[in-house]
Amino acid sequence: MRELEALLNKRWILKAEDKELYYKVRDQLGEIRKFASDKLGCHIIENAFLVKLEKIPVIPESFMGVQEFTSKEEYAFLCLLLMFLEDKDPQEQFILSQLTEYVSSNMPNGSVDWTLYVNRRRMIKVLRYAVIQGIIRITDGADDGFMDDASGEVLYENTGVSRYFMKNFSHDIMGYTKPSDFEESDWFEMDESKGIARRHRVYKRLLFAPGMYQNDGPEEDFEYLKYYGRRMSEDIERTFNCQVHIHRGSAFLMVGEDCRMGAVFPSGNAISDVCLLCFGQIQEKIASGEWKFSQDETILVDEVEFENLIKEIKRKFGEGFTKELRQMPEGEFAKAVIDSMEQLMFLKRINDEQLMLYPAIGKLAGKYPKEYEEQLRENSKENQKGGFYYEKEKCSKHGNGSDDGSRCTSNECVGSTRSES
């Protein structure tokens, strides 16, 4: 169902930005509401501005946050922006200094010093995100001016959709004292004995996250798969172009080529290719018995050992990577790969020294064609001298060199490495 896929794939569908899709979704709302209510327990908001499926996850994951944000202050600025817009009418305009004054007056830890570049940069990052989401639009000026100087002004317009950005809670949240209170609020009025809440949780975990693991979340959720897995698989596969794979300690949604539901892996970018190469090496270590998985199909490994595996892959196959990855220092490269795997729920940090590898790593693997691997090995042998890589050209100063062009034979240059690549 394309319209349901669109709602799952987007925060919302705004009439002002995609009128055709907006009306297509509204035409199918009856069928969409049935699936959303019965299977997901999700509320649908529909009005003259937008259509939105309230996607509240069972287990919040790091990738579910605003990826553009890198600090708690940016989230605080976003919340204050939403508060500021609460009293604004649709199409009502405001200037940036009105917002910064409001934020400074209402910031929990005191006023904000806008003369500091870091605070201005954070605010602009939040405002640009709000523009992309369709919450506000720029009608005059450029935000670069404020980035350069606190006196810079921009004229914005409220679109009217900001009040639908946050979830509408059915209970008074002022009594909540911990994050788990928000997670549990969806199930307060559910009758667990009828299995409704459990069904909602299982469908959400499969559709909202890359994988579902037995050691995460309530134990009864995985019990549901044992008894109703086949029926649920048929239901999901009938609704979407995908397959449900259920294993002893994990379950995954394997999407088909025609499915447009959320982000997929591999995504075709360079870091995905590196991850696939790593998965192949990990699977070889498991097959050889070097790495052993536990009863829940996870593997505990020292982070240093895992980093060394990634670095070795860079040394072995680096010539086939993009220029950015080739030039990245080994430590930075290993961190980028691990962060990517963690975001996609292929692994989880247990502590400062250990990583837990999830069973999803065993589902996919990548490798270069044999002919290409042989070419890489030949290139490595040809270009490598004593652990260094040399450019194959003659000395620019003396015009001579050794047979492979790596060393100058002049007395001035003998014994010195001419160039590293």
Full pLDDT tens readout for the chain, 421 residues: 789 999 999 999 999 999 999 999 999 999 999 999 999 999 999 999 999 999 988 888 888 889 899 999 999 999 999 999 999 999 999 999 999 999 999 998 888 999 999 999 999 999 999 999 999 999 999 999 999 999 999 999 999 999 999 987 777 788 888 877 777 665 545 555 557 888 999 999 999 988 898 888 888 888 898 889 899 999 998 898 888 898 888 898 888 777 777 777 878 788 999 999 999 999 999 999 999 988 888 999 999 999 999 999 998 888 888 999 999 999 999 999 999 999 888 999 998 899 999 999 988 888 877 777 677 667 655 554 433 332 333 344 444 444 433 334 333 433 333 333 3
Question: How do beta strands 384-385 and 93-95 pair?
Answer: unpaired
Domain check: are 43 and 18 in the same one? yes
Within a domain: residue 368?
A: no
Sequence-ordered alpha helix ranges (H) in 87-143: 96-106, 117-133
Domain count, the chain: 5
Question: Count of CB atoms within 10 A of residue 139's CB?
Answer: 11
Domain check: are 85 and 150 in the same one? yes
Domain check: are 339 and 288 in the same one? yes
Within a domain: residue 256?
A: yes
Domain check: are 49 and 69 in the same one? no
Domain check: are 217 and 297 in the same one? no
Give the integer Cα–Cα distance in Å for 60 and 165. 17
pLDDT for position 297: 86
Within a domain: residue 367?
A: no
Domain check: are 86 and 142 in the same one? yes
> For residues 293 and 42, is the Cβ–Cβ distance under 8 A?
no
Domain check: are 158 and 94 in the same one? yes
Give the integer Cα–Cα distance in Å for 412 and 396. 13
pLDDT for position 381: 59
Give the integer Cα–Cα distance in Å for 232 and 91. 45
Within a domain: residue 369?
A: no
Domain check: are 243 and 275 in the same one? no
Note down the domain range covering 421: 384-421
Domain check: are 282 and 246 in the same one? no
pLDDT for position 389: 33
| DSSP code, position 89 | P
Backbone angles phi, psi at 15, to 5 degrees: -60, -35
pLDDT for position 216: 84
Residue 324: which CATH number? 1.10.10
pLDDT for position 347: 93
- R_g over Cα of the chain: 27
Within a domain: residue 374?
A: no
Within a domain: residue 289?
A: yes
Which pair of structure tokens corresponds to residue 340?
Answer: 């990517």
Domain check: are 143 and 95 in the same one? yes
Which pair of structure tokens corresponds to residue 273?
Answer: 């290719």
Within a domain: residue 338?
A: yes
Name residues whose C-beta falls within 8 Å of residue 334's C-beta, 6 or more positions apart in sequence: 307, 310, 311, 314
Domain check: are 41 and 77 in the same one? no
Within a domain: residue 290?
A: yes
Predicted TM-score (pTM) of the model is 0.79
Domain check: are 73 and 160 in the same one? yes
pLDDT for position 316: 87
Q: Which of 264, 295, 329 marks a domain boundary?
A: 264
pLDDT for position 395: 43
Q: Which residues face 185 on adjacent strands? A: none
